[in-house]
Homo-oligomer: A and B are copies of this chain.
Amino acid sequence: MINITLPDGSVRQYEKGTSAMDIAKSISEGLARNVLSAKVNGEVWDANRPIDQDSHVQLFTWNDKDGKMTFWHSSAHLLAEALEAVYPGIKFGTGPATENGFYYDVDLGEKTLSTEDFKKIEDKMLELARQKNTFDRKPISRNEALSYFKDKGDEYKIELIEKRGENEALTLYQQGGFVDLCKGPHLPDTGKIKAVKLLKVGGAYWQGDESRQQMTRVSAISFPKQKELTQYLHMLEEAKKRDHRKLGAELGLFMFSEKVGAGLPIWLPKGTALRTRLEDFLKKEQIKRGYQPVITPHIAKKDLYMTSGHYEKYGEDSFQPINTPREGEEFLLKPMNCPHHCEIYGHKPHSYKELPIRIAEFGTVYRYEQSGELHGLTRVRGFTQDDAHIFCTPDQVKDEFLNVLDLTMHVIRKLGFENFTAQISLRDPLNKEKYIGSDENWTKAEQAIIDATKEVGLETVTELGEAAFYGPKLDFMVKDALGRSWQLGTIQVDYNLPDRFELEYIGADNKTHRPVMIHRAPFGSMERFIGVLTEHCAGKFPLWLAPEQYIILPISEKFQSYAEDIQNQLAAHDIRGNIDSRNEKIGRKIRDAQVNKYPFMLIIGEKEVNENKISVRQSGQGDEGAGDMGSQSLDEFVTYFKTLL
């Protein structure tokens, strides 16, 4: 008998050679139906692979990231099997799972494949899936593997095998008639795969090397239920419409310029108005909570980053140092604000009575990213962090976490997000010597983070061993209206920089102490956050934040002065907007106003002027069109408007 320890700490005894699937069955048949793979002593295994010794076992279903990965990886094999059936003789490169589905790179030889072929490939995949073929794992020697693929004539697999060590143990996996070189793990059988959709066909160089063969990359996704595929495809459609790059251009929020450079967003007037209003709102909330704004330069001497350790860590992959006409003088573009803030803390002596000191800056930083990784506002080379650094005593860590969580949850709700979670990253309790800072302070800080999240009722997952070497942290995640998860910012405890910058305060004991430093940028960056917000609200920003809250549409030029009068009266109520004075038909004006997603259209014609009223249309949420609210007096409108803020 062997002992199997489950994640809840319970230990059960099984026969030697039992599998994760057997374990699942011993718990419940329902669970067993859903098990896709399992983590056995830290490694993800096939659910039906025999376990021969005492082990820690964690079962994975579709709800686990690792479960999805197994599902999609097996789907890639199924895709390959189908492709081989439809295009006999093609050769296979690699076929991994991705964050959203999977792909296989194949060499079609003389054959071609286009979106018109998708249906027949999908049909073949489903036909093979219905056969419920098991994925059979076969350990094999390097030579056996070589000989198999030489016989088959698949030069790409041969190249992959030749790169492996002489005595390395390899495995093949076979489902139905298809055999692949693969580490696994895989699903129990192909029958789990109930829905597949090919998404894209394109080119990709073998091994990512531009000098090698161009392969055909077939990308697809699969699900255990047809309904999930339908939902996913609808979400993709919706996401396309909400793409912040598309909306950003349509709404005139931001632009990119080839001459300025990729990944360097330029904020246009409407985007600037939006961003500035959001920053001002955040600033005000921070000042209420005792933050002190500062402004620091966007460059610093290399010395600063030698002291902080950033130069050593990021030097080569980053924007390179800036030389000057003076020999040996070097500056660096600021990749983070913390070293500057340490200099501010350190420029004068502090007493414990002054702590916590919260130094805040909407600081623009620059970090080099490969051009292929850039994406709209969410992956850029220059961005403005909602940054602050808190210098406090070890006993103040919990209150500071509470303060930051309160701020973040207040703001995130004000922006119309409802689904908000966090990951707490703690140290590896078995390797405490890897971390700097005293054991006492670590214990105190970790408990402070856990307690603070409980107190505010924030849903969290906790990961052991994921802390940075210099302190534990908390990462925020938000779910948008389409159910997609976005990583936002972080609260990070740091015992390292106060040491490197020799920061101090005089304690109540009249002795010198090191403050704890807390980095926090709960939204990460204004760029990323506005990108996510744009997609979340499909460009229909919360009324208080919208760059323009209304557009007045006069039916003819005759009503221009009445329109201006309305605009002035609204301005007196701090309601901001514009007049579409173009010489265009009202239908066109309404359509353009819809594209621009103004929260309100105020239409003015003969009747409205005579009755001293306005015709109000309110924009709906998400896909909804504009709701006609009929003719109203300005006072009625203003009263209604203010209930929405």
Contact = CB atoms under 8 A, between A and B. Distances in A.
A419 interface: no
A202 interface: no
Interface stretch (A31-39, A47-55, A270-278): A270-278
A418 interface: no
Interface string A245-287: 0000000000101111100111111011101100000000000
Given A257-B343, A260-B300, A343-B259, A294 B265 contact: no
B297 A272 contact: no
Given A259-B300, A272-B295, A382-B298, A266 B340 contact: yes
A258 B259 CA distance: 34
Interface string A318-348: 1111111110000101000001100110010
A304 interface: yes
Contacts of A304: 257, 259-260
A548 to B, nearest CB: 12
A303 interface: yes
Interface string A327-371: 000010100000110011001000000000001000010101001
A301 interface: yes
A455 interface: no
A299 interface: yes
Interface in A14-48: none
Counting chain B CB atoms within 10 Å of each CB, the highest count among A257, A267, A325, A382 belongs to: A257
A316 interface: yes
Contact of A261 (B255, B294, B331): B331
Given A260-B343, A261-B300, A324-B320, A267 B255 contact: no
Q: Within the oligomer, what is the number of copies of this chain? A: 2
A307 interface: yes
A272 B300 contact: no
Contacts of A359: 269
Counting chain B CB atoms within 10 Å of each CB, the highest count among A261, A317, A326, A340 belongs to: A261
Interface of A: 255, 257-261, 264-269, 271-273, 275-276, 292-301, 303-304, 307, 316-326, 331, 333, 339-340, 343-344, 347, 359, 364, 366, 368, 371, 382
Given A268-B294, A299-B333, 15 more contacts: A257-B340, A257-B343, A259-B301, A266-B340, A266-B343, A267-B294, A268-B344, A269-B293, A269-B294, A297-B366, A297-B382, A317-B325, A319-B322, A320-B323, A326-B371
**Which are the 6 A-B pairs with shortest beta-carbon distances?**
A269-B292, A267-B295, A320-B323, A264-B297, A259-B304, A257-B343
